[in-house]
Amino acid sequence: MFARKGNTARRRRLENGAVFGVQIILALLLLAGMYALNAVGGNLVMPNPNDIVAESVLMWSDGTMLKGLGESLTVISLGFLLSASTGIFLGVLLGGFRVLGRVLDPFVNAMNSTPGAAFIPLIIVWFGLYTEAKVVVVWNAAFFPILINTTAGIANANKELVEMARAFGAKRATLFWRVMVPDALPSILSGLRIGAAICTVGTVIAELTMAQSGLGGLLAAAGNRFQMDRYFAVVIVLMALGTLITAMLRLAERRIGRWRVSLADGR
């Protein structure tokens, strides 16, 4: 048994090393492609990567990037917290109360299939152009993936566990929060991961279409002035931010997955 575990661990290390190596090769190919495109098309088509690095250092050192990142993180955080809390709460209700879910399902699907950009003029009229309106745009973008994944997770909770809890006289609230929600956690976390990625996109869209601020405002200003090195410096920060958020939520998924396995094994 120990030999099998050792072989599995060794194989996993080799696989992780191979994946990392391929990722490094792809990154180098991408960098080489940027240099080649710059040589062929000039700075307007693709800025020199050296210029992007220099502009990034300048924007971080003078506080421009840090200020924009702080403004965007405020909108992302508020929008994500609002969409997560409302999406999970309503998802538990729709998944737990089947009749309520059937009644509201057409309306949820209709709202979810409507492009979020269609609501931006209405949001501007109702909430203005500043932080409150941007948070609402982000909430509207991230709410439905979280709601739909939570609803599906609750509705498809382990029937044997639910029936066992009912047989022992568990109240509905206990059934929800002690049985159905823990069993639905993988689906809920998947929705949160999707919602978090959408929050970053929604924030940039809101900052571009409303009062320009944050990283989206920096993108707009650089694009309008054809400062492509500055533009790509902001894009790289956005990519890093989205990657970091996704990695954190994937780590949470793995930890909770191990906890659920340990719980099921009785350890």
**Residue with the two structure tokens 């080799």:** 14
Please check the confidence at residue 262 and state whether its pLDDT lies above 70.
no
Q: Do residue 148 and residue 189 come from a single domain?
A: yes
Q: What is the pTM of this model?
A: 0.80
Considering the domain architecture, whether residues 121 and 25 belong to the same structural domain is answered as: no
* Residues 98 and 169 grouped into a single domain: yes
Question: For residues 93 and 223, what is the distance between their CA atoms, to the nearest angstrom?
Answer: 45
Grouping H, G, I as helix, E, B as strand and the rest as coil, residue 137 is: helix
Average per-residue pLDDT for the chain: 84
Least confident of 43-57, 98-112, 229-243, 251-265: 251-265
User: Taking residues 7-13, what's their average pLDDT?
Assistant: 72
The encoded tokens of residue 77 equal 């955080």
Higher confidence at residue 219 or residue 5? 219
End position of a domain, from candidates 46, 64, 80: 46
pLDDT tens figures, 76-100: 999 999 999 999 999 988 887 888 8
Q: Tell me: the pLDDT tens digits for 121-163?
A: 888 889 888 888 999 999 999 999 999 999 988 888 777 776 7
Q: Are 82 and 135 in contact (CB under 8 A)?
A: yes
The one-character DSSP state at 39 is H
Domain count, the chain: 2
Same domain? For 240 and 154 the reply is yes
Measure the CA–CA gap between 230 and 130, rounded to whole angstroms. 24
Indicate whether 149 and 68 sit together in one domain: yes
**40: pLDDT strictly greater than 80:** yes
Domain residue limits at 2: 1-46
Arithmetic mean of pLDDT, 14-34: 86
On whether both 179 and 256 belong to a single domain, the answer is: yes
- At 5 the pLDDT is 55
Band (pLDDT 50/70/90 cuts) for residue 42 is confident
Give mean pLDDT, residues 220-248. Answer: 90
Give the percent of the chain with pLDDT over 90.
26
| Whether residue 147 sits in one domain with residue 39 | no
User: Per residue in 156-169, pLDDT tens?
Assistant: 877 777 677 777 66
Q: Which of 27, 46, 65 is the last residue of a domain?
A: 46
Q: How many Å apart are CA 248 and CA 259, to the nearest integer?
A: 17
In one letter, which amino acid is 196?
A
